[in-house]
Amino acid sequence: MDYIAHTKEEQQKMLSAIGLDQLDDLYADVPEGARLSGSLRLPEGVSEFEALEKIQELADQNKVYKTIFRGAGAYRHLIPSAVRNIASISGFVTAYTPYQAELSQGILMGMFEYQSMIAELTGMHTANASVYDGAEAAAEAMIMCLDAMHHKVLVSAGINPEVRMVLDTYAHSQNAEIIEIPLNDGRTDIEALKNMIDANTACVYTEQPNFRGLYEDVSAIAETAHASRVKVITGVNPTALALWKTPGECGSDIAVGEGQSLGLDLGCGGPYCGFMACTKELMRKLPGRIVGQTQDRHGNRCYVLTLQAREQHIRREKASSSICSNQALCAFRNTVYMAALGKEGFKEMAENCATLAHYAEKEITSVPGFTRADSGEFFMEFVIRTSVPVEKINKALDAEGILGPLELSEHEMLVCATEANSIQEIDHLVKVLKEVGA
């Protein structure tokens, strides 16, 4: 009782200090209809074991597929056990977004290595210490290119539709205009792009590979855009970069993407991690944290947050973004994953993805009624046109414990195969397709 009285006394002192008489006065501006009347309708408390039992009942309603042929931005890859074990060390988990950053030298070193790996992977000069996810990274990159004179953003029709939704949301708040570049045989129409660029164009955004799994001619896109001094943003699947030209080699100004495929489980939708890298000229516009390497007064190597004058906690009124808490723990796991595979292992994994995907494409298109929708080169995803409704196909696959391709339309589906798929799984998929087609 003494504690409660003491609390009420302190509460009254605080209210008096701001000129109020009672706690309800704090909510005077909230409309009466929006206020809670009565107590919260919460059930009685239960024991720890009863709570766990209830959670298990809910978890059992999930269907976990052992075989997956769906990608579309979230990919199943084989993750070495070392990645989970190292990233679970409590020192890394608790310091994932340190507010006295320089005290957490271990996580800062991990972030510095992450930035170095992302910069090398994308062929860019610098990278930040991650953002929330790949779609947000694309939107933040768009903001980096906007100014008072340049408010028009050209976006390929071949990008992930979920990324497009986020771009639209950010563009609304920035008074930016997004215009879609049409496709030609599944890829960005460069001739159309040439005619769409004008004096108000800020940037061009495409993805590599695009949502239909096809490789874009990013070099030609960059050449076309740069001829009119327009910035180029490329959203990339990092796995594909082991086999293909980097955005930097193609002339992109900013490279963004989703880090889920770099050692993060599918996890029912998250958490994920977005990466951003750019040229030296745009470095000071890069949002989020950037970790730099320096020396302390004794000459020892150490790590610090750098270029913070562009951030919201230093110059709030001039900040272009508000990355208050990034995905540093997920980014650190990306780092451990890339280190565990190494350059050769990473390349071998990507080659396996491409090999299995091309085997799947060959076998599927050998089934009557199943053909490629596009003719271009692809990485590990491709669109199949089928005479059988995709919904019917996926129901048949679901009955076999297989998460089938993504339905793009009634008769088009996006198929994905990674190194986590086996030849036997692909053959099983083809067998079901034959049965459904018959």
pLDDT 10s digits, 177-220: 999 999 999 999 999 999 999 999 999 999 999 999 999 999 99
Report which of residues 413 and 12 the model is more confident about: 413
How far apart, in Å, are the Cα atoms of 318 and each of 96, 132, 141, 310, 321?
Answer: 26, 21, 17, 8, 9
| pLDDT at 100 exceeding the cut of 50 | yes
Whether residue 194 is found in the same domain as residue 239:
yes
Whether residue 220 is found in the same domain as residue 303:
yes
Whether residue 365 is found in the same domain as residue 329:
no
Q: How confident is the model at residue 97, as a pLDDT?
A: 65
Residue at a domain's end among 337, 354, 375: 337
Within a domain: residue 13?
A: no
Within a domain: residue 18?
A: no
Check which CATH number belongs to the domain holding 160 and give it.
3.40.640.10
**pLDDT tens-digit readout, 405-424:** 999 999 999 999 999 999 99
Q: How confident is the model at residue 84, as a pLDDT?
A: 93
**Banded pLDDT at 3 (limits 50, 70, 90):** very low
* Over residues 111-115, mean pLDDT: 95
Whether residue 135 is found in the same domain as residue 235:
yes
Percent of the chain with pLDDT over 90: 75
Whether residue 386 is found in the same domain as residue 249:
no
What is the spatial distance between Cα 245 and Cα 236, in angstroms, rounded to a whole number? 11
Q: Comparing C-alpha atoms, which of 156, 56, 397, 110 is closest to residue 263? A: 110
Whether residue 304 is found in the same domain as residue 417:
no
Within a domain: residue 236?
A: yes
Tell me, yes or no, if the pTM score tops 0.95. Answer: no
Q: How confident is the model at residue 252, as a pLDDT?
A: 98
Within a domain: residue 427?
A: yes
**Banded pLDDT at 37 (limits 50, 70, 90):** confident
Q: How confident is the model at residue 1, as a pLDDT?
A: 39
Q: Using alpha carbons only, what angle is made at residue 346 by residues 341 and 348, rounded to the nearest 5 degrees?
A: 115
Write the DSSP assignment of 237-277 as a string of letters. -GGGGGTS--HHHHT-SEEEEEGGGTT---GGG----EEEE
Within a domain: residue 105?
A: yes
What is the spatial distance between Cα 134 and Cα 21, in angstroms, rounded to a whole number? 48
Whether residue 333 is found in the same domain as residue 198:
yes
Q: How confident is the model at residue 36, as a pLDDT?
A: 84
Element (DSSP H or E) covering residue 152: strand 152-156
Check which CATH number belongs to the domain holding 357 and give it.
3.90.1150.10
Q: How confident is the model at residue 2, as a pLDDT?
A: 45
Token pair 């339905």: residue: 407
Residue at a domain's end among 288, 311, 337: 337
56: tokens are: 């298990």
Strands (E) located in 244-364: 254-258, 274-278, 291-295, 301-305
| pLDDT at 26 exceeding the cut of 90 | no
CB 269 within 8 A of CB 62: no
Whether residue 374 is found in the same domain as residue 239:
no
Domain range for 423? 67-75+342-437
Query: For the chain, what's the residue count?
Result: 438
Within a domain: residue 305?
A: yes
Residue 275, C-beta contacts closer than 8 angstroms, at least 6 positions apart: 118, 122, 127, 128, 130, 131, 134, 137, 238, 256, 257, 258, 259, 331, 334
**pLDDT tens-digit readout, 134-176:** 999 999 999 999 998 999 999 999 999 999 999 999 999 899 9
What is the spatial distance between Cα 371 and Cα 361, in angstroms, rounded to a whole number? 9
Please state whether the peptide bond connecting residue 209 to the residue before it is cis, i.e. omega within 30 degrees of 0: yes
Within a domain: residue 52?
A: no
Whether residue 186 is found in the same domain as residue 290:
yes
Q: How many domains, the chain?
A: 2
Q: How confident is the model at residue 11, as a pLDDT?
A: 85
**pLDDT tens-digit readout, 219-273:** 999 999 999 999 999 999 999 999 999 999 999 999 999 999 999 999 887 889 9
Within a domain: residue 30?
A: no
CB 286 within 8 A of CB 275: no
Residue at a domain's end among 337, 367, 393: 337
Whether residue 223 is found in the same domain as residue 320:
yes
Whether residue 277 is found in the same domain as residue 348:
no
Whether residue 122 is found in the same domain as residue 240:
yes
Q: How confident is the model at residue 267, as a pLDDT?
A: 82
**pLDDT tens-digit readout, 114-140:** 999 999 999 999 999 999 999 999 999
The DSSP bridge pattern shows strands 152-156 and 201-208 to be parallel
**pLDDT tens-digit readout, 337-372:** 999 999 999 999 999 999 999 999 999 999 999 999
CB 79 within 8 A of CB 267: no
Residue 96, C-beta contacts closer than 8 angstroms, at least 6 positions apart: 107, 328, 329, 332
**How much helix, strand and coil, in percent to the nearest 5, is found in the chain?**
45, 15, 35
What is the spatial distance between Cα 416 and Cα 406, in angstroms, rounded to a whole number? 9
